[in-house]
Structure 1
Amino acid sequence: MEDVRAVADTESLSVSEVPDPIAGPGEVVIDVVAAGVNRADLLQRRGAYPPPKGASEILGLEVSGRISAVGPDAGGWRVGDEVCALLAGGGYAEKVAVPAAQVLPVPAGVDLQTAAALPEVACTVVSNLILTANLRAGELLLIHGGSSGIGTHAIQLASALGARIAVTARNQAKLDRCAELGAGILIDYTTDDFAQVMKDNGGADVILDIMGAKYLPGNIAALRTGGRMVTIGLQGGVKGELNMGVLLAKRLSVFGTTLRSRPVDGPGGKGEAVTKTLEVTWPLIEAGRIVPIVDSVFGFDDAAAAHARLDSGDAVGKVLLRVGA
């Protein structure tokens, strides 16, 4: 089996041959058709985001494909089922073994290749906006990076839930795309003060944050009393200063979460996120109310170009690697 992984200088990728994976207890093996490219992959390539203990060192956190082997106690999955899956690693490969609890059926109306754009964003958005922040109809949600894979999905889910949506992005073209998906308050972060815009609109009830330290003061200012912020990325740094007086006075809740390192089972585990995603998101996809947004698709041997596309900041939606047929 071929796979793609980072090599010693951490800025390069190499294709190599490795043994085929075997389906252990509670696992299935998927013959990969496509893999999603995520910022975590870019960080891992640079040596800044090692896989969790016991996870594959091969890059890739989500795939779509067909089940080719089923281990003991792997639920009702069968060989030949077309699926997509959430991974802790191993997706840039021709085959991957994955816990059955992290496998989802391909939604009706979505082709098998495009389905690779769904697991990471769908499970991330559900676990953070619904399970963590408890976003409700009528609330105002601020999404940083609205044109990203997570952002384009979050806009659509929040819109379906009846929330009002504000987004930040870096140019008008990206903001226009966010508006098409359901965002109503459009903030160009290169020219606008997002905190002031939010205060002018009564403050955000929920913020989905990918920036971390750089945006911490602005996010706290942007939240209304009783607001909740969920930080899922640290593109703006890891250390910031928090005014605890404002936190107390406004009765704010600040959460930090990751999906990759969670256990499979138990409260807060990947299995819970997958189950909730199947309950909430899959019917919306099958009804056409949420559409996977794919920016570009690259061949398996062009993983470096796929990384460059995502790293450029020009992508709108997901970048995919096409692995098999």
Structure 2
Amino acid sequence: MRAAILKAFGSPLTLETVPDPVLGTGEVIVDVVATRVLAYANEVFSGARNYLMELPMIPGSGAVGRVRALGPDATHLSVGDWVYCDPTVRSRDDALMPEIILQGLVAGSQPALRLQRYFHDGSFAEQMRVPTENVVRIGALDEAEAAAWCALGTLLVPYGGFAAANLTPGETVVVNGATGAFGSAGVAVAMAMGAKLVVATGRNETALADLERRYGRRVRAVRMLGNEESDRGRILEAASGPIDCVLDLLPPAASPSQVRTAVMAVRPYGRVVLMGGVGMAGGAGLELPYPWLMRNCITVRGQWMYAREASTRMIGLVRAGLIDLADFQVTSFGLDAVNEAVTHAAANAGPFRFTVIKP
């Protein structure tokens, strides 16, 4: 099969013919039809993000494709099924504290490298080998629709955050950092999950206005100007009542102050979920007042990715029409143009648009 290979950080991906993946028990071979290119893939491949990954590697996290072959333990999958390949792979030998990798992207810890060495290669290839539990049926679709379904990779992240927060229909939420790809998806997901009101924060005035245009009165945008007290006051004013949940999705370039501004707008007994990248590039950590946390019974939770059942739930939201994949603008490249795709993804990042490769 053909595959794009990252041989060294800072080098372009090279297109080569490599052996087809070999099926093992507890695994599925999938023909990759479309795979999303992360907007920050260039930063990973250059080494700037210092991701834990052993090279050479076929990169690419998550894909939409069709089942080519499956192991003897599969009970529902069939050859030919359209599926989503969830890149969030967990170790199977400790249910309480599983190690996690993102297949084709990063190991979450040094011990997780053992898992990465086995499920090493990702989706920038004509085929990929995936753990059975990470292959999720999408249902019938036309091949032309496959690229749009790669939006699952963006939508699932905020869904994981709201699921961790036990978001209940009728609640008011803040999506902090709503003008990026994951943040804008967070607004769409909160709406689909039944939020009464979504306060969308960010610095990009045009993107904030677009969110209000798309979703109407259930979304209220707040432009962050950099002063904690006044920005928090405008968040509270926009909410017009208690804020039940804050989901932070700010990128590494943001400051802890931007996180704290939104976090401390949550009501007593409220919930906060941290899913962004603040601090990953170094610098100060997030400081929150101990008395405020304690006396107001605030729950603060970190969440990396999402639970195993999230992919099935998200597919259900799309099939129900609660999330419209037509909202996303998709630009497609062939595998021969993989480096151009990586460059395009970086230059065209933003709300409701992404880049895919079609091997």
| Same fold (TM > 0.5) | yes
Supply the distance in 1 between the matched residues of 2:292 and 2:70 (Cα, whole angstroms): 53
SS at match of 1:112: helix
Q: 2:159 aligns with which of 107, 122, 126?
A: 126
Q: 2:331 aligns with which of 297, 309, 312?
A: 297
**C-alpha RMSD of the superposition:** 3.0
**1:81 aligned residue:** 81
**2:309 aligned residue:** 275
Matches within 5 A, 1:138-153: 138-153=170-185
Seen in structure 2, the aligned counterparts of structure 1 residues 153 and 171 have a Cα distance that, compared at 3 Å, is: closer
Deviation at 1:69, TM superposition (A): 1.3
**2:262 aligned residue:** 219
SS at match of 1:185: strand
Deviation at 1:246, TM superposition (A): 2.1
**2:224 aligned residue:** 189
Supply the distance in 1 between the matched residues of 2:15 and 2:25 (Cα, whole angstroms): 28
Matched, 1:246 2:292: yes
Gaps of 5+ in 2: 88-102, 105-121
Supply the distance in 2 between the matched residues of 1:242 and 1:285 (Cα, whole angstroms): 37
**2:245 aligned residue:** 206
On the 8 A contact 1:107/1:285 being kept in 2, the answer is no
Matched, 1:165 2:201: no
Deviation at 1:98, TM superposition (A): 0.8
Matched, 1:285 2:318: yes
On the 8 A contact 1:107/1:282 being kept in 2, the answer is no
Deviation at 1:290, TM superposition (A): 0.6
Seen in structure 2, the aligned counterparts of structure 1 residues 98 and 168 have a Cα distance that, compared at 3 Å, is: same
Seen in structure 2, the aligned counterparts of structure 1 residues 203 and 4 have a Cα distance that, compared at 3 Å, is: farther
Supply the distance in 2 between the matched residues of 1:241 and 1:11 (Cα, whole angstroms): 38
Deviation at 1:235, TM superposition (A): 4.6
Seen in structure 2, the aligned counterparts of structure 1 residues 181 and 14 have a Cα distance that, compared at 3 Å, is: farther
**What TM-score, normalized to structure 1?**
0.81
**1:265 aligned residue:** none
**1:320 aligned residue:** 355
**2:24 aligned residue:** 24
Deviation at 1:129, TM superposition (A): 0.6
Supply the distance in 1 between the matched residues of 2:291 and 2:17 (Cα, whole angstroms): 56
Gaps of 5+ in 1: 260-269
Seen in structure 2, the aligned counterparts of structure 1 residues 108 and 154 have a Cα distance that, compared at 3 Å, is: farther
**1:93 aligned residue:** 125
Seen in structure 2, the aligned counterparts of structure 1 residues 56 and 285 have a Cα distance that, compared at 3 Å, is: farther
Deviation at 1:254, TM superposition (A): 1.5
Deviation at 1:7, TM superposition (A): 4.3
Q: Name the aligned partner's letter for residue 323 of structure 2.
A: I
Superposed CA deviations along residues 177-200 of structure 1, whole A, max 9, x for unmatched, are 322146511123357854222222
Seen in structure 2, the aligned counterparts of structure 1 residues 145 and 240 have a Cα distance that, compared at 3 Å, is: closer
Supply the distance in 2 between the matched residues of 1:301 and 1:195 (Cα, whole angstroms): 48
On the 8 A contact 2:179/2:203 being kept in 1, the answer is no
Q: Name the aligned partner's letter for residue 36 of structure 2.
A: G
On the 8 A contact 1:148/1:318 being kept in 2, the answer is no
On the 8 A contact 1:6/1:13 being kept in 2, the answer is yes
How many residues align? The count is: 308
Matches within 5 A, 1:100-119: 100-107=132-139, 111-118=145-152
Superposed CA deviations along residues 116-142 of structure 1, whole A, max 9, x for unmatched, are 221x23432332211x10111222211
Seen in structure 2, the aligned counterparts of structure 1 residues 314 and 99 have a Cα distance that, compared at 3 Å, is: closer
Supply the distance in 2 between the matched residues of 1:303 and 1:184 (Cα, whole angstroms): 37
Deviation at 1:112, TM superposition (A): 2.0
**1:176 aligned residue:** 209
Superposed CA deviations along residues 217-268 of structure 1, whole A, max 9, x for unmatched, are 2133222212222111215645233322222232212111213xxxxxxxxx
SS at match of 1:224: coil
SS at match of 1:21: coil
